[in-house]
Amino acid sequence: MAKKIVLLVLALCMVMGTVAMASASAETMGTGVYTQLTKVENAYELDGDLYDGAIELESTVCTVVLDENNVIKSIRFDMTQGKFAINAKGEVIKGGAKGDVIASKVELKENYGMVAYANAPAGEWYVQAKAFEDYCVGKTVEEVLGVELGADGKLVDADVKATCSIIVSSFVQALQIAVANAR
């Protein structure tokens, strides 16, 4: 009987310790999506010939875990690019068919082709995004939201830019939304 009571007390202590640790951590998590039009070309007619237009959208996703002091404990970014051809009637004629799945840049990995096509010395998109994530961890949200960006949306700081030369302005926008959604 005494053994059962000791085991019960130990089990209760473990549960109480777990609950105390969970409430002491006070971590919150949020996800944000920032979508922007990156290209718009109207369809048109010239000399009796019809020419298609195009629309490109980029959606940047951020998931962040914050501690009680708004310090970033964990953060992930990803992005999709949707490219659609539009005819003169405004109908989508290429891309965006119902059920189409657009792979994200993280999912594409080397198939995104930054190194192959853009000669990106800092590496593929997902590698550079990971470098920016690593930069963000341990900083406050305010520090990351205040990071200096050039007019091109890229980081200005040479040390950070050495590992992340991609445009990160949409990352900052998605982070802001994720923080607003954090619970």
In the chain, alpha helices (H): 2-25, 105-108, 114-118, 125-136, 141-145, 158-161, 169-181
Cα–Cα–Cα angle for 18, 23, 28, nearest 5°? Answer: 120
What average pLDDT values come out for the chain (183 residues) when binned by 10 residues? Answer: 36 36 70 94 88 92 97 97 85 73 92 85 93 97 96 94 94 98 96
Cβ-contact 71, 96 below 8 angstroms = no
pLDDT at 96 (0 to 100): 65
Nearest to 70 by CA among 32, 134, 27: 27
Q: What six digits make up the tokens of 104?
A: 């994200």
